[in-house]
């Protein structure tokens, strides 16, 4: 159980739920054709969402308890086994983030779980706090590349 934070205007259709070791990032208005989840560890959203995604990550890092949450130990090997479906022997999520432009959208792949309900136009992801900085860096890199054209 977590605490849903009050979204800021900069977060657009996103909101955050704070938990003990991870957070949920949810996008409302995730209509098919605008948002898709090509795989368990992938999400495709409009490139115009990058500022809202960054504002959502900022809300997590600006939380008063941010400094208390778990961080990776330097040199520790990434473990994404938590992202497997129960009882699954399927592929593990990549331990690193990849954000790539795809037309007027971006495809985000990484160490998270993506739940997409197109009937409710809702997508929710779970992200470990230890993975937030790398995701932020990947989003900023793509944003800068798109701005340069």
Tokens of 59: 């809300």
- Based on the structure, what is the number of domains in the chain? 1
CA atoms lying within 13 Å on the CB side of residue 86: 0
Residue 75 in any domain: the answer is no
Residue 74 lies in a domain: no
pLDDT in tens, 84-101: 666 677 787 888 999 999
pLDDT tens string, the chain, 149 residues long: the values are 567 788 999 999 999 998 878 899 999 999 998 999 998 899 999 999 999 999 999 999 987 776 666 655 666 676 766 666 666 777 878 889 999 999 999 999 999 989 999 999 999 999 988 889 999 999 999 999 999 98
| Domain membership flag for residue 83 | no
110 belongs to a structural domain = yes
Range of the domain at 127: 3-68+93-148
What does pTM read for this prediction?
0.87
């Amino acid at each position: 159980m977590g605490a849903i934070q009050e979204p800021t205007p900069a977060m657009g259709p996103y909101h955050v739920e704070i938990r003990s070791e991870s957070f949920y990032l949810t996008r409302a208005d995730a209509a098919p054709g605008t948002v898709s989840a090509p795989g368990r560890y992938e999400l495709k959203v409009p490139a115009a969402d990058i500022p809202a995604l960054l504002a959502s990550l900022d809300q997590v890092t600006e939380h008063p308890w941010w400094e208390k949450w778990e961080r990776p130990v330097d040199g520790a090997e990434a473990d994404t086994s938590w992202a497997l479906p129960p009882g699954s022997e399927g592929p593990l999520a990549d331990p690193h983030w990849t954000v790539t432009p795809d037309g007027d959208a971006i495809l985000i792949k990484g160490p998270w779980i993506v739940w997409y309900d197109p009937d409710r136009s809702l997508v929710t992801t779970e992200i470990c706090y230890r993975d937030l900085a790398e995701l932020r860096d990947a989003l900023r890199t793509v944003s800068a590349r798109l701005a340069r054209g």
